[in-house]
Structure 1
Amino acid sequence: MFHPLRVAEVRPLTDDAVTISFEVPEELRAAYHYAPGQHIAVRRREGGAEIRRTYSLCDPAPGPGEAGPRRLRVGVRLVEDGEFSTYALKELAAGDTLDVMTPAGRFVLEPRPGRYAAVVGGSGITPVLSQIATVLAREPRASFCLVRSDRTAASTMFLDEVADLKDRWPDRLHLVSALSREEQQAGLPSGRLDADRLTALLPALLPVPEVDGWFLCGPLGLVGAAERALRTLGVPRSRVHQEIFHVDEVPATPSGAAAAISGGGTVKATLDGRSGSWAARGGESVLETVLRNRSDAPYACKGGVCGTCRTRLVAGEVRMDRNFALEPEETEAGYVLACQSHPVTPVVEVDFDA
């Protein structure tokens, strides 16, 4: 659900990134309670068109018994030809109002004892920053190893905040940095962190079999490389969690050989306790059919990345073009991404409330 929130601050972070803070009214604090690693979607209208983007929350999460946050803070990096990121860096100012969706996402690390590690690239540090700050503050028996990759030191987001966390917990936070386009005095030699390099590096940093959870976040290439390295090192898939940023350059690859029906068919959907049944137009995704009839259907990126439109397939069959958001156990349990799902059978039924 979206609510209009006032922008409290827009603060430069690097030459091409800012943080945006939103004020949360007292009556909405419970609605915006979030877990470390979750994200929000922001919405604005320009020229009659609606623009939605998803950004991860970067601050420590409120505790289970605490009231929700008074402020929400996200990091936004400028994307080439990006409609919202250009607006955020060049026009957005304190006092403006944006529609903000309540927090969502399953790239979450709840505080508990254990050894954790993350491999992040670029703006992928944002949700992991919240995870590290929350877990180390609330669980004294937890430790974290952060491997981060950035282009240059000047482009590194949250550089000072990560350094502050390292100063606060020097024995429980191990920080390793790599720059792909610049040499640095300390840390790893410059260059990309590919699968071979990570396969050699990670066992030198920490006892890989003892890590309770791996959190991979950033561009598709880095996350894929880290996932392959962990597979080579024998890490169980259940311990690896990932969130992909920046996949526009990757063509959609339909999962399975099933062809979407050409004539449309019927989509049945349950959302917020109400059910409906609508004729689908040829070529439409399940989300597009539902949105024509229920404008409150949840979505953000429409690119198979954020998982906001996750729904359970109750009946029928769909072809999902691509999936960068759902874990294998979720797809096995019948969940699909509505934005990427096209009906294969004449009738498809989904449940957004499941």
Structure 2
Amino acid sequence: MFHPLRVAEVRPLTDDSVTISFEVPEELRAAYRYAPGQHIAIRRRVAGGEVRRTYSLCDPVPGEPAAGGPGGSTAGPRRLRVGVRLVEDGEFSTYALKELLTGDVLDVMPPAGRFVLEPRPGRFAAVVGGSGITPVLSQIGTVLAREPKAAFCLIRSDRTAASTMFLEEVADLKDRWPDRFQLVSALSREEQQAGLPSGRLDADRLTALLPALLPVPAVDGWYLCGPLGLVSAAEHALRILGVPRSRVHQEIFHVDEPPPVPVPAAGPRADGGTVRATLGGRAGSWSAAAGESVLETVLRNRSDAPYACKGGVCGTCRTKLVAGEVRMDRNFALEPEETGAGYVLACQSHPVTEVVEVDFDA
């Protein structure tokens, strides 16, 4: 469910990125509590429709207010802050960098997502690229502040020093926890005086680099975030190094490859079939048009169906397949454990059987 939130600040980070802060009214703060690594979906209404985008929250999770504090404060954040990088021909990012002003109001969905690191003792590491630093920044700040027996190693890759997001914030983390926070930076298009030689962090390079930086088998959790190419390379390197799949968590920020070419409808899908869905405690059954995704069918009848990117990346439209069979075009959001448990992405799922039933509340 979206709520209108006022923009408290739009602050430049680099030439092509900004942070946007939203004010959260006291009565909504409980609804906007978040775990380190989660994201929010932002909706902007435009002539003839709307634009939705998903951005990760970058601040450490705020501490709980004192019980019975002034005004009876409700636990939850007073502000939400996200980082937005300009994307070529990006409708929302262009608006955010060039037009959005303090005082403007945008619709914001409560935090969601499973790319989460809850504070606990242990050794953790992240490999991030570009704006993939955003959710990991929240994870690092939260776990180091709340868990004195935690340590974190951050390996980040950026094009140039000038394009590096949250440079000051990461430096501050290093100053605050020099013994528990290790930072390694790589620039793909620029030489730097300290740190790694320039160049991309591909699978071969990461396979050689990671054991030189930290004891790989002793790392309790790996967090990979950024473009598909970097995340795939890091995942491959960790697999070569023998890291159990259960310790690897990933979130894709950008997919370079084009969407798959739709497969022509076959069998029962030739006449569309039927989609049954439970959403917000209410169930419905609707005829599907041939070639429609499950999400498209539901949206024609329930405008409150959850979605953001429609590209199989953010996971906002995650739903449980209760009955029937679907073909999922692509998936960059669900873990193998989730798909094994029957979860699918509604935006990428096309009915194969005559009747498909899903549960968005599961």
Query: Is this a same-fold pair by TM over 0.5?
Result: yes
Instruction: Quote the Cα distance in structure 2 between the aligned partners of 1:323 and 1:97.
Output: 32
Distance 1:107 1:122, change over 3 A: same
Count the aligned residue pairs: 353
> 2:136 matched to 1:128?
yes
Whether the 8 Å CA contact 2:268–2:354 is kept in 1: the answer is: no
Moved more, 56-65 or 111-120: 56-65
CA contact (8 A) 1:216 1:243 kept: yes
Residues 1:114 and 1:339: Cα distance change in structure 2 (over 3 Å): same
Contact kept? 1:260, 1:342, Cα under 8 Å: no
| 1:172 matched residue in structure 2 | 180
Once the 2 structures are TM-superposed, how far is the Cα of residue 262 of structure 1 from its aligned partner? 2.0
Q: Distance in 1 between matches of 2:137 and 2:170?
A: 7
Paired position in structure 2 for 1:189: 197
2:210 maps to which residue? 202
Q: How does 1:10-89 map to 2 (within 5 A)?
A: 10-63=10-63, 67-89=75-97
Is residue 120–residue 148 contact of structure 1 (8 Å, CA) maintained in 2?
yes
Return the alpha-carbon distance in structure 1 between the equivalents of residues 182 and 52 of structure 2.
Answer: 35
Structure 2 partner of 1:287: 295
1:250 CA drift (Å):
3.6
Shift of 1:254: 8.3
What SS is found at the alignment partner of 1:261?
Answer: helix
Aligned residues of 1:8 and 1:22 also touching (Cα < 8 A): yes
Normalising to structure 1: TM-score of the pair?
0.97
CA distance in 1, matches of 2:243, 2:65: 34
Q: Distance in 2 between matches of 1:109 and 1:63?
A: 16
**CA-atom RMSD, angstroms?**
1.6
Counterpart among 227, 236, 247 of residue 239 in structure 1? 247
Provide the residue aligned with 2:127 in structure 1: 119
What is the CA-CA distance between 1:246 and the residue it aligns to? Answer: 1.1
CA shift digits 1:18-46 (9 cap, x unpaired) = 00000000000000000000000100122
Per-residue deviation, 1:253: 7.7
- Report the Cα distance in structure 1 between the residues aligned to 2:262 and 2:127, rounded to whole angstroms: 28
The answer for unaligned runs of 5 or more in structure 1 is none
Measure, in 2, the Cα distance between the counterparts of 1:299 and 1:64.
Answer: 30
Q: Aligned with 2:269: secondary structure?
A: coil
- Specify the code of the residue in structure 1 equivalent to 2:127: V
Residues 312-332 of structure 1: per-residue CA shift (max 9 Å, x gap): 000000000000000000000
Q: Deviations over 1:129-151 (max 9, x none)?
A: 00000000000000000000000
Shift of 1:263: 1.5
1:323-342 residue pairs with structure 2 within 5 A?
323-342=331-350
Task: Report runs of 4+ in structure 1 exceeding 6 Å deviation.
Answer: 257-260
The Cα of 1:61 is off from its aligned counterpart by: 1.1
Q: Name the CA distance, whole Å, in 2 between partners of 1:233 and 1:259.
A: 44
Q: Matches of 1:259 and 1:157 in 2, distance apart? A: 49
Q: Percent identical across equivalent pairs?
A: 87
Deviation at 1:224, TM superposition (A): 0.3
Q: Which of 142, 154, 160 is equivalent to 2:168? A: 160
